[in-house]
Structure 1
């Protein structure tokens, strides 16, 4: 697909250099390969590569060889809230803050040692700096995707690549699952041995990743079907055109969609499955509200999706249904964990205990009736409130909300290419819902994919024919 004349016109001498964009896309698609980038070396490499791309972009802009597609004006709420969170997390690591703010463990350490330690709000400044680095990496991914995603043809290609990449990871997981090979790459599984996890350790993390890729595939299929029904005709003729379009151009997307859905079901992740279904529903509702997609078409796609989903659950989803039916809040530990996390939040509700320090803090609050090992709170919202304090955590949640609002406004504003803000809104619904009961958004590969998608979605919330922003 060529980039048409209606795309952004870049002034002479300041040409757009897409190599950085495709390099970023390659990084995003490869990030899940090393176990979802959860190890320090892998997320550290991710941070270094994204930082290098940011430096190259900034150098090109500063030298006048490239102009920014967006300044701060259109996304200032996101930038402001994000900056406040980063600054507060950094302040948590500093020793010049009032001693009364410092974590009580520093005073205990002083009493046990013969020298004075420089205390801080954070119980572990190193972990806080590490968490800040990851957060800045995600911010950098969003910013680069925002700058380079303004061309609709490029946004389309990016969704295609992400759909195919997600389907490849799903296919790998299916092969391992059906062959009974309890391996993740070259490593033997130690958890979720009867569940599909692909290259991720946790089934819920891959469920979120597959769900995001499924949203991308749904968006592309919607575009294909919409183009086939642009000409006014009878229902029979429209159906014939849709079938022809799928057979000629969209069959591979449908195969990817089915592969991703099957893999999602076989993760046996209740929260991942439920949040993805809500995301697909949100996408179809949003698409039906745009001027680009006929509401009858959106309803029809929703009906087909529901039918296929029912078939998959009947033949492959028994374990999800069993887990849903057997779920008992009284028998699960998570309510106990949430109760103790809330107690920890109450002790430092304003200033937090240090971004990225949940594991260190929670060991002082867990009780004997909590038997499992919890390095995460299994609720992103509670964990961030504990680590950052309620004001900063609210600002971080405000970043997600601001992205959703931008996409919602884009859905209302755009006629052409409205599918991209619909994808962004659906992706936000997915991660926002799943984050209530799990930590998938804290997995670097998942967070990188989400922020990349949001950069593309937000970039498409304004017409590419509008002039570039002033800083």
Structure 2
């Protein structure tokens, strides 16, 4: 039951408009917390808890920073000048804080807490390879359904978003998300959930087994794992990604496809010529893919280029905020409040800049460099283990490959946008990355506590 609750959260989080509202974030937090406290620890070893230790450190660091930011008249740190205004204008004696708002950081703390719970639950849920396979397979076909809905909704009624009036991106598919860039990254991640098993299925053509039993569910999962079904799922998710018109979303997704293929092929004994020929063929296929289904994206690249000048201007303003508040930031969740005073004239009067369009940059703005730098280092440490497992494992190696390629896609896109700050994608992303990380280490490491052992494919 505990695993089913977690699975339901992973699958349903993208549905209610990306779970961007606080109410959905806290609903998912409660459900994941209940799932965690009722976890069956029998299949979980010490290595799994060691994997989660840096995550606990990161969350403790964020929590301590938020507590300091909201503490009235703190003993350390420079309080924000905004707290002088009540005294200067009204003569009111209001305690000063580092944060620009008193309660905002604790409300904003829900988003990183939710992602951390999703990541931790996925790691524990995917401790066994069979469970990891079920999780990724379920997420793949859930993503297929979201992609199918996004395509059909755009073709049938492009002016609505989940039966509501669509206010933006009328000419592009967004599915259940408000923002097309987040939708593109989400569907690109779903496409990877099909692509890597497809590569494995084609490579292991002589090792395919029949259905494990005649039960309807077993037969269904067997046929959904065939190359034809996987290719169909990949095609639908990739088409949905292209229909968003997101430049970074589609280009980074194609780059992630190439990365996944490279990670899968590189350790195989193919010979140098064959390996490079396959990679070159994949690159050509990617270019053809962009030409065939990325017409809207190619048109936007020709019109606007690859670099958004407005974002570069906003990045410079964000760096200016960091210079003025380097130690403890302006308060978690307070980017929009702080940015108004630094907004350059070059941005004009249009557009709402409630996010920095770069998650690492916004993190530094809101919690300061001393907290942001270790958190980024912890994320990179996890990414390193995903790539290491992708190249060194053999049994079920495709699972860490999925985790590594999705991690690369999500993190790179969030470095120039805010897709991971949308809870619906953040939870989905954390579940995939957590499952990949759980299977980045051989089973022998959990059982024996020894070093890394390369096992059978």
TM-score of the two chains, using structure 1 as the length reference? 0.84
Equivalent in the alignment of 1:26: 8
Equivalent in the alignment of 2:404: 425
Equivalent in the alignment of 2:304: 327
- 1:391 and 2:370 aligned: yes
CA distance in 1 between counterparts of 2:199 and 2:115 reads 28
Secondary structure of the structure 2 residue equivalent to 1:273: helix
Equivalent in the alignment of 2:92: 115
Q: 1:66 to 1:286 in 2, by over 3 A?
A: closer
CA distance in 1 between counterparts of 2:322 and 2:27 reads 32
- 1:253 and 2:253 aligned: no
Equivalent in the alignment of 2:352: 373
The 8 Å contact of residues 104 and 332 in structure 2, kept in 1 or not, is answered as yes
C-alpha displacement of 1:91? 2.3
CA distance in 2 between counterparts of 1:299 and 1:23 reads 44
More deviation in 199-208 or 97-106? 97-106
Structure 1, residues 25-82: CA drift from partner, whole Å, max 9, x if none? 121111111000001222221122112212323xx65xxx786564533444444344
Structure 1, residues 389-441: CA drift from partner, whole Å, max 9, x if none? 11211122123201111112222431111111111111121122112221101
CA distance in 1 between counterparts of 2:224 and 2:397 reads 24
The 8 Å contact of residues 111 and 421 in structure 2, kept in 1 or not, is answered as no
Equivalent in the alignment of 2:249: 272
More deviation in 41-50 or 83-92? 83-92
CA distance in 2 between counterparts of 1:146 and 1:96 reads 40
Structure 1 residue aligned with 2:19, among 23, 31, 37? Answer: 37
Structure 1, residues 352-392: CA drift from partner, whole Å, max 9, x if none? 11111111111111134322211111111221111111121
- 1:142 and 2:124 aligned: no
More deviation in 454-463 or 102-111? 102-111
Equivalent in the alignment of 1:174: 151
CA distance in 2 between counterparts of 1:21 and 1:402 reads 27
Structure 2 residue aligned with 1:444, among 423, 433, 441? Answer: 423
The 8 Å contact of residues 226 and 293 in structure 1, kept in 2 or not, is answered as no
CA distance in 2 between counterparts of 1:50 and 1:293 reads 43
For 1:67-466, list aligned pairs within 5 A: 70-95=47-72, 97-98=74-75, 101-228=78-205, 249-290=226-267, 306=283, 309-328=286-305, 332-370=309-347, 371=349, 372-466=351-445
Equivalent in the alignment of 1:7: none
TM-score of the two chains, using structure 2 as the length reference? 0.87
CA distance in 1 between counterparts of 2:21 and 2:15 reads 12
C-alpha displacement of 1:165? 0.8
Q: 1:86 to 1:222 in 2, by over 3 A?
A: farther
Measured on the aligned residues, the alpha-carbon RMSD in Å equals 2.8
For structure 1, list consecutive stretches of 5 or more residues without a partner in the other structure.
1-18, 232-244
Structure 1, residues 78-124: CA drift from partner, whole Å, max 9, x if none? 44344323322332222252275211111223323343222221112
Q: 1:315 to 1:414 in 2, by over 3 A?
A: closer
